[in-house]
């Protein structure tokens, strides 16, 4: 006959009980960096190449592969180029900027054109309202690409019309020939239009006859909604970065002041001559 268990006696829980193995997950707010902070972070990250096997002509899948860095070719070292950008806005002068471009070489010895990225959101020439370059709703963009010696390699004119682009939306326009490709992002911010982000270009490193460029093709992407607060507002990390920059500036200033004090603390006329003992007295060394 089994011995009855008193009701007051606590029962032992199994080590496999769901209550003992349950871990409480706290609902922490998801932190999302703003455009400014994410841009600084991405500048320190090296992009990894993703390999693909299918390669066609410049106007087909090869174009997409080069623009997105998804090619199985061997990447060259970056080369310096110069770009001059005109937007047709009277208040915006022609913008000169430097950028890097590279090409890819495949096993059969053939190589691709140069592929470059021009940062249109650089803090050096963007407007105060939005990290981009203001443009008209309907106009044209002129881009001149020069080599390091200043020789003109390519002069591209892109005509566009984004008047129907809704507020808070972006769209890309890509213009291509057999000789070049130009990929530009447009955005509408409160009725004002900008080109922003990375302008991507594919070009040859020599001057070609423009009459033999071939047929021009244009691709207009599907407009998509944009979270403007990502570009216009700051984030928690901004305060940390600003405080860190301020601390570094203060430390540098303190270091300069200490160096200045040490250099002026003692002059040759202030230095005392060393003394030696002579008998019971002392005598200065001349």
Which structure tokens are listed for 205? 């490193």
Q: Which of 102, 115, 138, 121 is nearest to 43 (CA)?
A: 121
Tokens 């972070």 appear where? 41
179-203: burial string, b at 16+ Cβ within 10 Å, e else: bbbbbbbbbbbeeebbbbbebbbbb
Q: Where are the domains of the chain?
A: 35-39+48-236
Query: What pLDDT, in 10s, does the model give residues 89-110?
Result: 766 688 999 999 999 998 888 8
For CA atoms 159, 164, 167, 171, the dihedral sign is: negative
- What is the C-alpha to C-alpha distance for residues 30 and 23, in angstroms, rounded to an integer? 20
Q: Residue 213: what pLDDT?
A: 65
Per-residue pLDDT of the chain (286 residues; tens, 9 = 90+): 556 655 555 556 555 554 544 545 445 555 566 666 666 555 544 343 333 333 333 444 677 777 776 677 788 999 999 999 998 776 668 899 999 999 999 888 888 899 999 998 875 556 667 888 999 999 999 999 999 888 899 999 999 999 999 999 999 999 998 889 999 999 999 999 999 999 999 998 876 566 556 788 899 999 999 888 877 766 656 655 455 555 556 556 666 665 665 655 555 555 455 554 444 444 444 4
């Amino acid at each position: 006959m089994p011995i009855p268990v008193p009701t007051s006696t606590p029962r032992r829980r199994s080590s496999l009980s769901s209550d003992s193995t349950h871990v409480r997950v706290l609902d922490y707010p998801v932190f999302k960096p703003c455009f400014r902070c994410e841009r600084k972070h991405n500048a320190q990250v090296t992009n990894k190449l993703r390999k693909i096997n299918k390669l066609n002509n410049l106007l087909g899948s090869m174009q997409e592969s080069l623009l997105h860095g998804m090619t199985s070719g061997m990447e060259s070292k970056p080369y310096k180029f110069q770009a001059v950008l005109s937007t047709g806005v009277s208040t915006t002068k022609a913008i000169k900027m430097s950028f890097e471009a590279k090409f890819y070489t495949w096993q059969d010895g053939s190589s691709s054109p140069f592929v470059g990225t021009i940062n249109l959101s650089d803090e050096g020439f963007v407007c105060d309202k939005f990290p981009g370059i203001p443009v008209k709703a309907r106009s044209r963009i002129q881009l001149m690409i020069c080599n390091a010696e200043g020789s003109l390699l390519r002069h591209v004119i892109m005509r566009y019309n984004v008047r129907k682009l809704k507020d808070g939306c972006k769209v890309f326009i890509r213009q291509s020939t057999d000789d070049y490709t130009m990929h530009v992002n447009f955005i509408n911010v409160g009725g004002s239009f900008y080109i922003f982000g990375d302008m991507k270009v594919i070009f040859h490193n020599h001057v070609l006859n423009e009459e033999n460029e071939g047929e021009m093709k244009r691709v207009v992407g599907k407009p998509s909604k944009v979270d403007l607060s990502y570009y216009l507002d700051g984030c928690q990390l901004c305060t940390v970065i600003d405080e860190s920059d301020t601390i570094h500036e203060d430390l540098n200033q303190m270091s300069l002041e200490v160096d200045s004090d040490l250099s002026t603390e003692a002059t040759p006329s202030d230095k005392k001559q060393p003394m030696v003992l002579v008998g019971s007295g002392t005598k200065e060394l001349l």
